[in-house]
Structures are given as structure tokens and as C-alpha cells.
A and B are shown apart, each in its own frame.
Chain A
Amino acid sequence: MTGTDPERPWRDRARRITALWPTMVMGAALWVLLWGDLSWANVLAGVALGALVALAFPLPPIGAAGTLRPGPLAHLVGRFVSDLVVASFQVAWTAVRPGPTPRGGLVPVPLRSTSDLFIATTAGLSSMVPGTVVVDLDRAGSTLRLHVLDLAGSGGPDGVRESVRALEERLLRAFATRADLVRLGLAEPAGGPAATPGKEGQP
């Protein structure tokens, strides 16, 4: 919207279309996967569809992740896969074993991060870790409300809070910028632990 040039409207339009390139690349990749055949026709049709979807259904920007650290990312993905398997066995066993439905409850979990991207990703991932499903989300207070299937079996409300915050920490360590990590108390500042140690990290 900024920098509109009335003399050259085509330049403005061209800039708006080039800003769509991530969606166009995604569209092309999806379309090629869908047809299972890498050809120019498929790539071009995918690019056109990606642009069309982005123009027809515009979404507010969610903000970009800072960086990508391969080691913590592998840790995050590995824990996610093992958590998904463990969670599925737990829930499957709870479903087929004899006896009544276990006592569940709602637990609010305050998160460290205030970025929409990290809150949304934490919410999505925590729907798949053992025993929890996100029911509600307070974006202003960055608080998730989780439902726990078996509250006693998950270590009570404190155990649930602990495990979701550990999940968020793994996510932040994989993607957040160093400045964010320092601000949230997850890393030492570059010049050593000089400035207000541990103040920001208090829950």
C-alpha cells in the first residue's frame, strides 16, 4: 500500500505480484505433486493457481520465523514423532480398555512467545503431544487453553504446563532469532550473562 506511484501504476501492480512468490512456488510444488509429473505445463499452471489463491483469499501476514537451526530442529521433529506415537498408543488404549472415561479437565497454559507464528505452531503441535488438545486461545495474553484427556495420568495441571512449555522451548530454539531467545530468557546475551540474569525467564 505504501509508495504508490500514480505515474506508473504497472510498477505497483508488478510489485504486488512479485510479493506473492512464496505462494506461487508452493502452488507449483503442490500442483506438480498432485499430478505426479514434472512438466512445464504443470509448473506454470501451479504458479498461476498459487497467485490466484493468494489474490482471491488474502490473509494477514503472520510474520517470518527468524532463523533455522538444524540441530534443535532435528530435536523438535524427533520428539514430535515419538510424542505422536506415544500419544496415539495412550489414547487408543484408553479407548479400548474396559472402564469409564478418565477424568479430564481444562488447563490454561501461558506461553513465553508473543508472535502469532510461534503461538499457532505451538498450539498445532501440542494438539498432538500426549493427552492434550487445544480448545481455546487467548492471543492477547498468549495463553492456550488445553483440554487434558486424563488429568491424573498427565501429572496434573502443573505437569501439563511443564510439558507444553518444554515443547514451546524446543520450537523457539529451532526457529526464533537469537535476540528473541535472549529476550525470553532462553539464551545468554552475546556479551556474557551481564544484563538482568533470569528476570525475563520467570514464569
Chain B
Amino acid sequence: MSLVTDAAAAVCLLLGAFFSFSAGVGVVRFDNLFARVHVVAKPQVLGMLLLLTGVALRLQDRSSVTMLVLVAIFQLMTSPVAAHMVGSAGLRTGKVEPEFLEMDDGGR
């Protein structure tokens, strides 16, 4: 039993670390604001959730697990808002290269 949960915890922690790492790589490597926002909105969230799951599987005590659940809920609630705020601030202050706007009349 404890071997199974330990293995599952290890998989979660490693995958979570990979996603968090790739988020960091993306922020450094991508060349424009919106691409960086994508990285912050997705692999970072899943990496965080996987790390929390791994920690919960290792700790297995009720008060720590409830705390981890709270962290996960707030992460899911705030991360899209944060991504949206950065993106719309970039759009409104003209920090976006004009060639990224050319698809904009697709719906007209």
C-alpha cells in the first residue's frame, strides 16, 4: 500500500516539477508577451496541482491535505484572472507587436 502511494507521489512530484520547469523555460524563451501568458496560465497550474497531489499523497494527514486543497482551489480561481489581467494590460498599453493583431478582423 505505502509502496503504491509512494510511487504515485513520486510520479506526481516529478511530472509537476517537469511542468513547472517547462513554464520557466517558456517564460525565458518565448519572444512575445502573449506567448508568455500562455505558459503562466497552463503548465504552471497543472504543475502546481501535481506537486500538491504528490505532497498530499506523502503527508496523508488531514489538516495538511485540507490546506493543500485550499491552495489548489485558489490557484484554479486566480490563475486565469492573472493571465487575463496581464494580457489585457499589454493590449491596452500597446505593448503588443502589430503583426499579432492582424487576425483581429476575422469575426467582422
Which residues of A approach B to under 8 Å, CB–CB? 30, 33-37, 84-85, 87-88, 91-96, 100-102, 104-110, 123-125, 127-128, 131, 133-137, 143, 145, 147, 149, 151, 157, 161
Contacts and interface: CB of A to CB of B under 8 A. Distances in A.
A136 B107 CA distance: 14
Contact of A124 (B23, B25, B80, B90): B80
Contact of A133 (B32, B34, B107): B34
Nearest to A102: B35
**What secondary structure prevails in chain A residues at the interface with B?**
mixed
Given A85-B46, A94-B26, 19 more contacts: A30-B70, A34-B67, A34-B70, A36-B67, A91-B22, A93-B22, A95-B25, A95-B30, A100-B31, A106-B103, A110-B107, A127-B84, A128-B42, A128-B45, A131-B38, A133-B38, A133-B41, A134-B83, A135-B84
A149 B90 CA distance: 15
Nearest to A36: B63
A95 B47 CA distance: 14
Given A91-B38, A109-B107, A104 B32 contact: yes
Contacts of B45: 84, 88, 128
Given A95-B29, A133-B83, A108 B100 contact: no
Contact of A91 (B26, B66, B69, B84): B26
Contacts of B88: 135-136
Contacts of A128: 41-42, 45, 80
